[in-house]
Amino acid sequence: MTQHVGELTPPVRLMLTPGPSSIDPRVYRAMATPLVGHMDPWFKGCMDETQILLRQIFQTENRITMPLSASGSGGIEAAVLNTLEEGDEAIVAVNGVFSERMYEIATRASSNVIKVEAPYGKPVDVEDVRRAGKGKKIKIIGFAHGETSTGVITGIDSYRKVADELGALLIVDTVASLAAVPIDVDKQRVDICFSGSQKAISAPPGMSPITVSPAAEEIFRKRKTKVQSWYFDLTTAMNYWGKDRLYHHTPPISLIFALREAMRLVVEEGLEARWERHRVNQLALIAGLEAMGLDLLVKNPADRLPTVTAVMIPGGVDDAKVRNQLLDEFNIEIAGGFGPVKGKIWRVGLMGYCSQKPFVLLFLSALEKCLLDQGFRMANGAGAAAAIRSYSQVETAAAVSR
């Protein structure tokens, strides 16, 4: 029996998740433009512009700088598989689901991978990494700058120092931080840095920007064996994104259009202004959550990732009911927890386009309604009022500094 399938009409959501984030209408318009061939001369110019914008956002002059046709997990795969061969020694700092994923991928490339761990909600102590690598020939050190599963940020500079001491390449996952948190690939000497299009850049999912230092390129050239993955072999993929534009695969052209436009908007706003916007909006969100009587997973303010805030679910409150009510009543989507923190936290994303004052105030008011409906008590309007005070303090301080 033939079943009728109607026109595609997805709901309009405010996606306050750890990714994907809602996107600017101008990015939607870019996706709706005419399709061209991936070897079309005009599209090759579009590729040049995409790489120019990527280098500005990564703050790098690296030759290998391109968007992979993959999610952020593809970025992990490319970064690890291109550097490691069987027998190589590596260290991966693990403090959540996505840094654990980097470790898992590394173990498939080499049998000598050291996992250095920290509890969910904390960064891995760089001193533990230093001790783990002492006396060993470490080829790479990898970690998540922003751990999406817990909302923890880890500083890059101290890891670079340890990588220098151990003679290792530094691989940094910036999927949840690029375009929202200060990152300077060249000044901080990150050897391989990758991200995802759907987070703070605010483009659709499906692209993983990546950049590779000359030192890492040299390691690629010295490999004794082929990269395990043909698709993620960066030396061949770069033949397409390099000056020769040799066919490698058919990329998602409309997604590249969208990524180009989203990055253009990042540069138009200015990196420093964008970093400050994310910082200010998270401060207001946290002020509101704490005024409502809610606790955060990440206790140390210095360890909090500006794009993802992990909120402890209070006792007696049903995780799924709150998230479903936010969807059904307010068209707001947030995320739950993974692994050890499943059912224990909500993850609220303020990424890119979604990091806006009106969205913060709307979410706090909507969450208050959902919590009150489950019997959780607080002063009426406490969250929004605290957020407004936070914004006022920032505005006052800015006016005084001028």
What whole-number distance in Å separates Cα of residue 284 and Cα of residue 387? 4
What whole-number distance in Å separates Cα of residue 166 and Cα of residue 143? 15
Assign residue 33 the CATH number of its domain: 3.40.640.10
E-strand spans in 74-131? 89-94, 112-117
Pairing of strands 192-194, 146-147: unpaired
Q: Is the peptide bond before 205 cis (omega within 30 degrees of 0)?
A: no
- Give me the pLDDT at residue 396, please: 85
Question: Is the model's pLDDT at 45 over the cut of 80?
Answer: yes
Identify whether 241 is part of a domain. yes
The model's confidence at residue 192, banded by pLDDT at 50, 70 and 90, is: very high
- Give me the pLDDT at residue 247, please: 83
Kindly state whether residues 227 and 293 are assigned to the same domain: no
The model's confidence at residue 398, banded by pLDDT at 50, 70 and 90, is: confident
Kindly state whether residues 215 and 297 are assigned to the same domain: no
Burial 78-112 (b: 16+ CB within 10 A, else e): bbbbbbbbeebbbbbbbbbbbbbbbbebbbebbeb
Residue span of the structural domain in which 357 resides: 270-401
34 Cβ contact list (under 8 Å, min separation 6): none
Kindly state whether residues 229 and 292 are assigned to the same domain: no
Identify whether 395 is part of a domain. yes
Kindly state whether residues 131 and 159 are assigned to the same domain: yes
Q: Which of 217, 244, 267 is the last residue of a domain?
A: 267
Question: Is the model's pLDDT at 264 over the cut of 90?
Answer: yes
Lowest-confidence region among 11-20, 34-43, 143-152: 34-43
What whole-number distance in Å separates Cα of residue 87 and Cα of residue 106? 11
Question: Is the model's pLDDT at 295 over the cut of 80?
Answer: yes
- Give me the pLDDT at residue 291, please: 98
Mean pLDDT throughout 7-27? 96
Question: Is the model's pLDDT at 305 over the cut of 90?
Answer: yes
Question: Is the model's pLDDT at 1 over the cut of 90?
Answer: no
Mean pLDDT throughout 94-116? 96
Identify whether 10 is part of a domain. no
Q: Which of 248, 267, 286 is the last residue of a domain?
A: 267
Whether 143 contacts 76, CB under 8 Å: no
Q: Give the relative orientation of helices 234-241 and 214-221 as an angle to the nearest 10 degrees.
A: 120
Kindly state whether residues 240 and 279 are assigned to the same domain: no
Mean pLDDT throughout 78-82? 97
- Give me the pLDDT at residue 333, please: 98
Burial 345-363 (b: 16+ CB within 10 A, else e): bbbbbbbbbbbeeebbbbb
Other beta carbons within 10 Å of 227: 20
Structure tokens given for 247: 């066919």
Mean pLDDT throughout 160-182? 98
pLDDT above 70: percentage of residues in the chain:
100
Identify whether 329 is part of a domain. yes
Lowest-confidence region among 88-92, 107-111, 112-116: 107-111
Mean pLDDT throughout 111-130? 97
Identify whether 372 is part of a domain. yes
Mean pLDDT throughout 230-250? 87
Kindly state whether residues 289 and 211 are assigned to the same domain: no
Question: Is the model's pLDDT at 181 over the cut of 90?
Answer: yes
Whether 366 contacts 330, CB under 8 Å: yes
What whole-number distance in Å separates Cα of residue 306 and Cα of residue 296? 13
pLDDT digits (tens, 9 = 90+) for 49-71: 999 999 999 999 999 999 999 99
- Give me the pLDDT at residue 401, please: 73
pLDDT above 90: percentage of residues in the chain:
92
What whole-number distance in Å separates Cα of residue 241 and Cα of residue 234? 10
**76 versus 400: which is more confidently predicted?**
76
150, amino acid identity: T
What whole-number distance in Å separates Cα of residue 179 and Cα of residue 351? 9
pTM (2 d.p.): 0.96
Question: Is the model's pLDDT at 363 over the cut of 90?
Answer: yes
- Give me the pLDDT at residue 220, please: 95
Kindly state whether residues 49 and 162 are assigned to the same domain: yes
Whether 123 contacts 152, CB under 8 Å: yes
Mean pLDDT throughout 66-95? 97
- Number of domains observed in the structure of the chain: 2
Which of 301, 385, 306 is closest to 18 using CA atoms? 306
Kindly state whether residues 184 and 204 are assigned to the same domain: yes
Q: Which of 267, 299, 321 is the last residue of a domain?
A: 267
